[in-house]
Structure 1
Amino acid sequence: MEPDGRTVAELVAARWGDHRPGLWCEDDVLTHHQFAVGAAARAALLADLLPPGVPPHIGVLLDNTPEFPLWLAGAALAGAAAAGINPTRRGPELARDILHTECRILVTEPAQLPLLRGLDLPGVRLLTTGTQEYDDLLAPYAHARPDPSRATPSDRLLLYFTSGSTGTPKAAICTQGRLTAAGRSLAGQFGVTPDDVHYVCMPMFHGNAVIADWAPALAAGAGVALRRRFSASGFLADVRRYRATYFTYVGRAIQYVLATEPGPHDRDHRLRLGFGTEAGVVDAAAFERRFGVRLVEGYGSSEGGAAVQWSPGTPAGAVGRAGPGLVVLDQRTRAECPPAHFDAAGRLLNGDEAIGELVNRAPNPFEGYWRNPEAEAERRRRGSPAHGGPSRSSEAESGGGWYWTGDLFCRDAEGYLYFAGRTDDRLRVDGENLAAAMIENILARYEGADAVAVYAVPDPVTGDQVMAAIAGDFEPGSFAEFLLAQPDLGTKMAPRFVRVVERMPVTATNKIHRARLRSEGLRCADPVWCRPTAELAYRRLAPGDAEGPLAPTRGPV
């Protein structure tokens, strides 16, 4: 039976008395009841440890172990907030994340202690799981019962950092009410029942694992199986072991699973659905062919300001139909972009005018960033009268403070949205605006490519040139033939430069680290191939060539 309640605390308390197995991690198994007991003990401990008069924030520096969701649930019962701390951060950056979110308690484990050596963390109390001191600290609260009465829907529960691939991570706020609503929505959308098991292999310090995987399981009373850290080689074995039915993914995770050795029993499992972002059309189709599992590619900003849901009938390459309030706006004029037009081969014909930033003009659940008014203002940009936007007097009526996603899209005449990349992924080549994501979707078909990233490098005259990083096998002749055979490759889209990498650089959440690729440009240790003329003939770039710009390529390929 689906638990009632408007807060995460109420969902946790509803599991009291449910003695079905509900949480798995390696050899550890907790029933739903034991989970509720553990959460209540941690909530009672927090009530005694958190000092009065300060934000009730705790930091969680853990792998995906049972302690992570136990502390999330405990924080919910205590009316506190948990900040997921990224263990791939180091030194002053790691200290900055802990201190910025004003964590009074930091929950960690012995394996993470070396990361904290030498850090100045004034006022932060350390709790180290898996130690006798920790067990002794919790022991007096072993008989606590979950009391959800202290929590309200407006209580902060999560402070989760953006991936940090484009700058200093921002701590997005998520309240108990928003997380509960998101969990219920996804559970309803995907028909999650108490008999399901959600496999959580993405890191729980990131919003994807908590909002899209743990929350719907909690809302439906389903089980949760944890993987300490994502492992492509261990994916299928885990799915079978825990009898998992649902999982989430981000970034390159699907590509890594597909790169494992195929076997005759790849479809021997209970998995029915994967939900995530950035798998791409080619890999999603390959995953379904091999494992018999449908991947649902959704779009949702981490901060909750905009979301697009896939539905039956969505055209290939589209994310879904635009809901009420979602529009694609020209970033300069703030006017709505005209519909996108595609030819019979799927080539976007009017990208220069059709691609813009996705904006949500409707009321939305974006709850801001912790102590970062500048970042909030960027998300809540208002129309500009100087560029055709609404006047100040009409801002309230016309949607002043709309949510600007920072993502590029185009929208066809039927209202379907096509992802075109981040706003800093736009390329302007020979006077034409191009979208990195659309070029990537084409290059992903290249047989030798395990992963592809497209980004801009400066043109020596004006604008940009297209550069691609390819992980996998690259042969210049076959790649040139491949490009010529792609009917939807526009005349400006063929990469001028190709960087061949052994492994694509990624962030802690498996998203391609585009900022690093852009900053390194041609000056990198990897082999770089270029085409000096408009002809599709690639040659190896000599080290000295990177010191001075090559002549720009003009005209069609």
Structure 2
Amino acid sequence: MDSRASTVAELIAARWGDHRPGLWCEDRALTHHEVAAGAAARAALLADVLPPDAEPHIGVLLDNTPEFPLWLGAAALARAAVAGVNPTRRGAELARDILHTECRLLVTERAHLSLLKDLELPGLRLLVTDETGYADALAPYADAQPDASSATPHDRFLLYFTSGSTGAPKAALCSQGRLAAAGRSLAGQFSLGTEDVHYLCMPMFHGNAVIAGWAPALVTGAGVALRRRFSASRFLPDVRRHGATYFTYVGRAVQYVLATEPRPDDRDNPLRLGFGTEAGAVDAAAFERRFGVRLVEGYGSSEGGAAVQWSPGTPPGAVGRAAPGLVVLDPESRAQCPPARFDATGRLLNGDEAIGELVNQGPSPFEGYWRNTAAERERRRDGWYWTGDLFYRDADGYLYFAGRTDDRLRVDGENLAAAMIENILARYEGADAVAVYAVPDPVTGDQVMATIAGTFDPEAFARFLLAQPDLGTKMAPRFVRVAGRMPVTATNKIHRAALRKEGLRCADPVWWRPPGERAYRLLTREDLEHAEGPPAPTRGPSPVRRQGLEPRTR
């Protein structure tokens, strides 16, 4: 492990002259030396093409191809910052992400050019990695060598998007020093080493793949195997092909792998560890039984302000033990919430008082948001870091995740803002009012539910969704409640808490779109059982998520 390097640039430069295989993707393989050389060439190109009077920010709109880590390395060497652009965003929202982070160069590929069609992106230069002119653009810099001497730990390195309740994602900042430190921490925690191979099947525009997968590989000199896009059916063949020993995941990825046809040789694989979030205790246990691979669930706010580490002895459903400074507070009184109490089956009994917001009262590595001082102030209230996430804590100090404090949804590992989806659905001709909120997914995360006050034609609504250019691939409502009148509070605001609490079991008709289908049909009692899934595991977060604070059987 390289314990001396304090910047990502130093970690990139350290691989110069290392001719071991270091990066694989499909049929392409690069040595560590070739990765360092490729990063150096791109860094030299950046020095020539980035305007000197602009922020040194580049957008990367790529699948997980070798170009993505090469441009990350280039940005580190050039003291530039990368904004990972989410290809599930559409239209004006996609343009907003690029313009907000002040990117003057966008690195992309032909497959994503259609997303940029008709967008107003003044002053933006495109570099398309799979077009003929790309190799010509890089050719003059082929002899460049990585020089990390000017990089500092404080250099801005990542601007990665997190969802906000107002509908506009915030660009969280991550410096070279913080990413290098995160890589060292994870490598040490999981005893990762030079001979490991990290399988990156989660998208690299997310922090999970870069911080939890790529960074520790840089620190140790491990190899990295990329999957262009996650594929459950190719997961085990990829792992065997590349000799992968470690992988990261988010959301329902683990469930998708478990849904593949079991084989007698499933345990014949080189993996020893998976690290991520939201797999759930039941699926984690099933994964270990089937593949012989332990999954470690962790929690870390995207902004880096708080983290909870799993350790041996952590109860099922818990994330880990609270580190010094981490407390669960009542947001109104600022008082610590009392410990959680469970019944004999492990179901939470005192959610009303035990659930509060996770707050870091100790030192925080949070580095802020790009051009969003209001959001920074919200995070740093009272001199503490407020995560925006709900937790409860048992008598032994173990923490359990219980949801989010604002109108955010997490669908298949993607954070979405309800307000954004509401703005799109409000265009539907039959809608007098629209509210969007989360209902629990049967396995992990959320499903999108909308209440529409007005008239509803299921066929017309499905056609309407297909016609919206800015409706991202995760945004279409799985459930639509049709109400004669939108419930409101005493101050005439939409009563979102009541809508969430009633969920699918409401008096109004609910239409739904079964997985894999585009057409909506009325939700029946039999459908309801399928949509809500099997009973939730005990002592986990599921019984309290998204249905107020009362225990619930799914």
* TM-align CA RMSD: 3.1
Partner of 1:551: none
Describe the SS at the equivalent of 1:137: helix
Name the TM-score, length of structure 2 as normaliser. Answer: 0.78
- Residues 330 and 452 (structure 1 numbering): CA distance in 2 closer, same or farther, change over 3 Å? closer
Partner of 2:67: 67
Q: Write out per-residue CA displacement over residues 492-511 of structure 1, whole angstroms, 9 at most, x where no aligned residue.
A: xx999997652299xxxxxx
- Residues 95 and 424 (structure 1 numbering): CA distance in 2 closer, same or farther, change over 3 Å? closer
Structure 2: state its 5+ residue gaps. 409-436, 452-485, 490-494, 532-549
Q: Write out per-residue CA displacement over residues 248-292 of structure 1, whole angstroms, 9 at most, x where no aligned residue.
A: 111111111111111111111101111111111111111111111
Q: CA deviation at 1:132?
A: 2.3
- Residues 211 and 452 (structure 1 numbering): CA distance in 2 closer, same or farther, change over 3 Å? closer
Partner of 1:5: 5
Q: Write out per-residue CA displacement over residues 198-242 of structure 1, whole angstroms, 9 at most, x where no aligned residue.
A: 000111011111001000111110000001111111111111111
- Residues 496 and 151 (structure 1 numbering): CA distance in 2 closer, same or farther, change over 3 Å? farther
Partner of 1:356: 356
Partner of 1:200: 200
The answer to whether the 8 Å contact 1:4/1:10 transfers is: no
- Residues 319 and 501 (structure 1 numbering): CA distance in 2 closer, same or farther, change over 3 Å? farther
**C-alpha distance in structure 1 between counterparts of 2:303 and 2:390, whole Å:** 16
The answer to whether the 8 Å contact 1:174/1:367 transfers is: yes
Describe the SS at the equivalent of 1:333: coil
Q: CA deviation at 1:316?
A: 1.4
Partner of 1:422: 404
**C-alpha distance in structure 2 between counterparts of 1:412 and 1:309, whole Å:** 16
Partner of 2:173: 173
Aligned residues: 463
- Residues 468 and 501 (structure 1 numbering): CA distance in 2 closer, same or farther, change over 3 Å? farther
The answer to whether the 8 Å contact 1:35/1:70 transfers is: yes
Q: Does 1:327 align with 2:327?
A: yes
Partner of 2:291: 291
- Residues 409 and 173 (structure 1 numbering): CA distance in 2 closer, same or farther, change over 3 Å? same
Name the TM-score, length of structure 1 as normaliser. Answer: 0.77
Q: Does 1:502 align with 2:502?
A: no
The answer to whether the 8 Å contact 2:165/2:407 transfers is: no
The answer to whether the 8 Å contact 1:467/1:499 transfers is: no
The answer to whether the 8 Å contact 2:152/2:177 transfers is: yes
Q: CA deviation at 1:330?
A: 0.5
Describe the SS at the equivalent of 1:150: coil
Q: CA deviation at 1:2?
A: 3.4
- Residues 290 and 59 (structure 1 numbering): CA distance in 2 closer, same or farther, change over 3 Å? same
Partner of 1:212: 212
- Residues 495 and 187 (structure 1 numbering): CA distance in 2 closer, same or farther, change over 3 Å? farther
Partner of 2:482: none
**C-alpha distance in structure 2 between counterparts of 1:18 and 1:233, whole Å:** 33
- Residues 504 and 307 (structure 1 numbering): CA distance in 2 closer, same or farther, change over 3 Å? farther
Partner of 1:151: 151
**C-alpha distance in structure 2 between counterparts of 1:259 and 1:249, whole Å:** 15
Counterpart of 2:390, as a letter, is L
Structure 1: state its 5+ residue gaps. 383-399, 427-435, 445-449, 470-493, 506-523, 532-536, 541-553
The answer to whether the 8 Å contact 2:60/2:83 transfers is: yes
Greater RCO (CA < 8 Å, at least 6 residues apart): 2
Counterpart of 1:329, as a letter, is L
Q: CA deviation at 1:424?
A: 3.7
The answer to whether the 8 Å contact 1:451/1:504 transfers is: no
Counterpart of 1:343, as a letter, is D
**C-alpha distance in structure 2 between counterparts of 1:32 and 1:222, whole Å:** 9
Q: CA deviation at 1:70?
A: 0.2
**C-alpha distance in structure 2 between counterparts of 1:236 and 1:502, whole Å:** 28
Q: CA deviation at 1:165?
A: 8.6
Mapping for residues 338-357 of structure 1, pairs under 5 Å:
338-357=338-357
Q: CA deviation at 1:456?
A: 11
Of residues 182-191 and 254-263 in structure 1, the stretch that sits farther from structure 2 once superposed is 254-263
Q: Write out per-residue CA displacement over residues 102-143 of structure 1, whole angstroms, 9 at most, x where no aligned residue.
A: 111111111111111212211111111122211111111111
Counterpart of 1:417, as a letter, is L
Counterpart of 1:303, as a letter, is E
Q: Does 1:160 align with 2:154?
A: no
Q: Does 1:525 align with 2:526?
A: no
Describe the SS at the equivalent of 2:63: coil
Which aligned runs of 4 or more in structure 1 are off by greater than 3 angstroms? Answer: 1-4, 163-166, 450-463, 465-469, 494-501, 537-540
Counterpart of 2:523, as a letter, is V
Q: Write out per-residue CA displacement over residues 33-87 of structure 1, whole angstroms, 9 at most, x where no aligned residue.
A: 0000001111111111111122101111111000000000000001000111111
Describe the SS at the equivalent of 2:199: strand
Which of the residues 394, 405, 408 maps onto 2:390?
A: 408
The answer to whether the 8 Å contact 1:425/1:455 transfers is: no
Q: CA deviation at 1:412?
A: 1.2
- Residues 226 and 366 (structure 1 numbering): CA distance in 2 closer, same or farther, change over 3 Å? same
Q: CA deviation at 1:440?
A: 5.7
